[in-house]
Amino acid sequence: MKLIYEKSKPGRRASAVPDPGLPAGDVPEGLRRSAPPRLPEMAEPELVRHITELSTRNFGIDTGFYPLGSCTMKYNPRVNERVVGLPGFRDLHPHQRDEDAQGALELMWRLQEILAEVVGLHAVTLQPAAGSQGELTGLTLIRAYFEDRGEGDQRREIVIPDTAHGTNPASVAMAGYNLVRVKVDDRGNIDLDDLRAKVGPQTAGLMITNPSTLGLFEESIEEIQKIFHSAGALLYYDGANLNAVCGISRPGDMGFDVLHFNLHKTFSQPHGGGGPGAGSVAVRDILEPFLPTPVVVREGDSYRLDHDRPKSIGRVRGFAGPFGVFVRAYAFIRMWGPGLREMSETAVLNANYMLARLRDAYELPYDRTCMHEFVLSARNLKREHGVTALDVAKRLMDHGFHPPTVYFPLVVPEALMIEPTETEAKETLDAFCDAMLSIAKEAETDQQVLKDAPHSRPVSRPDEAQAAKRMHVRHTFEEAPA
Amino acid sequence: MLKAIGVSSIEELFADIPQGLRLDRPLDVGPALTESELVAHLSELASRNVHVDRELSFLGAGMYDHYVPAVVDMLMQRGELLTAYTPYQPEMSQGVLQAIFEYQTAICELTGMDVSNASGYDGTTVAADACYVAKLATRRQKVVLAETLNPQARQVVRTFAPGFGMEVVEVAQKDGVIDPDELAAAADGAALVIFQQPNFFGILEDAPALAAAANGAGALAVAHVDLMSLGVLEAPGVYGADMAIGEGQSAGNHLSYGGPHYGFLASKTDLARQLPGRIVGETVDRQGQRAFVLTLQTREQHIRREKATSNITSNQTLLALGGLAYLSWLGPQGLAEVGERSLALAEHAKKRLGLPPAFDRPTFREFVVRTGRPASEVIDEAKRRGVHPGYPIGRDYPGLDDALMIAFTEKRTADDIERLADVLAGAGVEVHA
């Protein structure tokens, strides 16, 4: 398909800009643009067709099943798009006075209260822009807490298990902490002996996901909590997998002191081809004074943004956060109500059902009841037939499914990480399992069809090495149209 | 399904959770609402917000009320784009990948840069991102910020710089701008310098001199710019900036009370391997067809973990693609017209209001004037008559408590300026008759 720039024709345009009929303003010599930017020039029908053509070459949840492990690709209710488009939300300027933004502030305050209740913690900031920024915010809060106690120089280490998302170690480095890795035992839990050896007065905190990226609940969480708290350290909960435990078990009750939500995962902000997200952070009372400013507070029947927090770590993003995501998350939660528990139960049921259907055809590295997702290994197919997890993923595309997450977590070779979410019908789960079983059969009989997959997509196995080497990352206006 | 799993109840699936950690009551989050009840509830909340079409608004200060055309909403509501995630599997994601490549091209064209990432979170966080890039690229630890840089961007840099192991120095504004000599002195030994064009007061800095001051000290010159100015103003890459960053909201995103929007971040080629976040590159597939993939992934957290150039995974792709749709709708001519007409309205308003400027400097689509009385009182009185006259800039800059910053977009008219003049006069401000 041609690039939009290759469809461009000089002099065409879709826009008409109101003319105020005023004399042109001056721009000082040397600051005026010397050559116009080569933006596309096209009429609106061509522009709309271009966007539509791009869409047809993309696959979303609206297209079909998208069991991308750890990403919680659930159906995004359409009503959320309607309410986020209400002019009172969509066209509200963020510098509007608090008294003229009461509806927005009340929505944010209510969302803070609900999120605190869901995780059993005391206070919430909605400001962080995404899960990763929530991590960095949470770690910065931990640092501020220890600096306030005079322990900032002493506590320099954050402990992370081998199963962690890549964002965790990256966030630890960006927060200025040293990383200490802890092993996972043969049940997929954190190895307690290894942990005890690594936690002490130098430890600031532990950062884990629970259930872990293996889709397993950390069985020794109570003991882990004691190890850290008795060493004076704090516990950070990566909320990426919160979809497993809403209304069932709360991180605050497990002993966690600070966590981030991924509102786009658990509470259904559409993922937008890579964003937006929201990484709201909840904390125990000891960390509340350090929350980023501004904080939404309620006073009687009115709401305001509180900028006066002397111990605050400061601002982590512009304004009060990604407000449109808050509208969608709030809408999503209000439609479930206390039924959020049923949401998580169904997600866990769906995952275990798929696991039961697939466990004999693929290797199961940790044989336990899973939570909302599970990790299989294609190691058996690779060993016996030379077929890899990547081949399985590509062949699934020919069956009309988005593949699961592959090659993560790193502790499982040839990993296939499958997360169905609660919004899929049993027929869909069965169809996907049938496809996985048929691929395992194909691995025995026709490896080449797997190696050549996908056969049904607009492109097949692009050359990533060449892309990195060539570094062709923008159109250069030199090539002839394809 | 339970039978297939081999359990007799849902409860059994949660056996790994210690009994004492299970919640023994329903969540207290309010009753479940039907769709129609939800819409009624949220409509009531939305009705208590005074949005930009319910008053005549001259608010700007980083977020601008430019018109967002229907084609932007059309793109952002295409389910195949809206409900997809990061394009890890290129065969499933050519639409998003190509669109990001086209977005990267538009950002590079506007800013005069060689490489753009697929977006950052917003115009404040990309300033912190730029600091991390500069630390990796220069091995230096000092950040120099112009005081005329957006205050929220400066606050975000201050929040994260200590974790990066960096110290922050600010160069004070003098009569509304940054003096290039003072900037050059501060930039000695610095990793980077961040300045803004037009600056937070709406004033045109001598940006080429500021970039030269940074470069002369061996620091990266980072220009924080507004895409909507770049049909009129020179591209930072042309006047010596190493990186261009900024807030994308004004180019194709609804105001949405501050987000979600997109931040953009682009650089010259030599910084490509230090950039944060996703980058899309062109390649070929096995049949030799053009194909797009995420590239330079060895920078990224899922591969490099604690050695990554950032921790970014989710970014603001959908909002950035809204920006692409908008810029394509405008075209180069439309972009220039929006800039010129916003500028013309601002110049007309300066003359019509005749208020003393806080700084006597050339501006773009926004300017600061003295009102002769506390700006908050002027705003309160003007709002009673249905006009939001601007931003009380004393909130960020001490000594400017009687100053209003007034912003113009192509949506305002000469008649709107007459009404603003009337309302300000009614609020006790001495405007021209």
Helix (H/G/I), strand (E/B), else coil: A393: helix
Chain A residues lying within 8 Å of B13, measured CB to CB? 345, 348-349, 352, 369
Task: Give the per-residue pLDDT at B303.
Answer: 85
Residue B32 CA to residue A341 CA, distance in Å, equals: 12
User: What percent of chain A has a predicted confidence (pLDDT) above 70?
Assistant: 99
**What are the φ/ψ torsions at residue B363 (nearest 5 degrees)?**
-125, 175
Contact call for A39 and B331, based on CB within 8 A: yes
Query: E strand or H helix at A158, and its extent?
Result: strand A157-161
Q: Please tell me which of the candidates B16, B208, B284 has its beta carbon nearest to residue A369.
A: B16
* Residue A314 Cα distances to A128, A266, A307, B127, angstroms: 12, 27, 9, 15
Give the CA radius of gyration of chain A. 25
Residue B365 CA to residue B16 CA, distance in Å, equals: 61
Contact call for B257 and A104, based on CB within 8 A: yes
Query: Chain B closest CA to A68's CA: distance in Å?
Result: 9
The one-digit pLDDT tens for each residue of chain B (433 residues) are 999 999 999 999 999 999 999 999 999 999 999 999 999 999 999 999 999 999 999 999 999 999 999 999 999 999 999 999 999 999 999 999 999 999 999 999 999 999 999 999 999 999 999 999 999 999 999 999 999 999 999 999 999 999 999 999 999 999 999 999 999 999 999 999 999 999 999 999 999 999 999 999 999 999 999 999 999 999 999 999 999 999 999 999 999 999 999 999 999 999 999 999 999 999 999 999 999 999 999 888 888 888 899 999 999 999 999 999 999 999 999 999 999 999 999 999 999 999 999 999 999 999 999 999 999 999 999 999 999 999 999 999 999 999 999 999 999 999 999 999 999 999 999 997 5
Q: Under a CB-based contact definition with an 8 Å cutoff, are residues B90 and B292 in contact? A: yes
DSSP B15-69: TTS-GGGB--S---S-----HHHHHHHHHHHHHTB--TTTSEE---TT-------
Look at the domain B56-67+332-426 and name its fold.
Aspartate Aminotransferase, domain 1 (3.90.1150)
Q: What domains appear along chain A, each with residue ranges and CATH number?
A: 81-338 (3.40.640.10), 342-466 (3.90.1150.10)
Task: Give the per-residue pLDDT at A481.
Answer: 45
Q: Say yes or no to pLDDT of A411 above 90.
A: yes
Instruction: Tell me what ipTM this predicted complex has.
Output: 0.98
Residue A29 CA to residue B206 CA, distance in Å, equals: 10
* Eight-class DSSP state of A153: T
A164: Cβ contacts below 8 Å, ≥ 6 apart: A207, A208, A209, A213, A238
Residue B104 CA to residue A445 CA, distance in Å, equals: 44
pTM equals 0.98
Report angle CA A373, A375, A381 to the nearest 5 degrees. Answer: 145
Interface with A, mutate which of B13, B29, B255, B271 (most A CBs under 10 A): B29
Interface with A, mutate which of B22, B48, B49 (most A CBs under 10 A): B49
Query: E strand or H helix at A418, and its extent?
Result: strand A415-418
Q: Say yes or no to pLDDT of A482 above 60.
A: no
Q: Say yes or no to pLDDT of A479 above 70.
A: no
- Structure tokens given for B432: 């021209």
Nearest alpha carbon to residue B321 among B101, B99, B131:
B99
Contact call for B321 and A349, based on CB within 8 A: no
Contact call for A462 and B285, based on CB within 8 A: yes
Residue A474: band (very low, low, confident or very high) from pLDDT cuts 50, 70, 90: very high
Helix (H/G/I), strand (E/B), else coil: A420: coil
From start to end of A292-395, where are the E strands? 295-299, 302-306, 374-377
DSSP B245-304: EEE-TTTT---GGG-S--EEEEE-GGGGGG--S--EEEEE-TTS-EEEEE--GGGSHHHH
Class at the top of the CATH hierarchy for domain B70-325: alpha beta
Contact call for B313 and A173, based on CB within 8 A: no
Helix (H/G/I), strand (E/B), else coil: B199: coil
Mean pLDDT of A52-78: 98
The model's pLDDT over A337-394, given as tens digits with 9 standing for 90+, comes to: 999 999 999 999 999 999 999 999 999 999 999 999 999 999 999 999 999 999 999 9
Helix (H/G/I), strand (E/B), else coil: B101: helix
- Structure tokens given for A298: 């309620």
Residue intervals in chain B for CATH 3.40.640.10: 70-325
Residue B269: count other Cβ atoms within 10 Å of its Cβ. Answer: 11
Residue A132 CA to residue A265 CA, distance in Å, equals: 13
Residue intervals in chain B for CATH 3.90.1150.10: 56-67+332-426
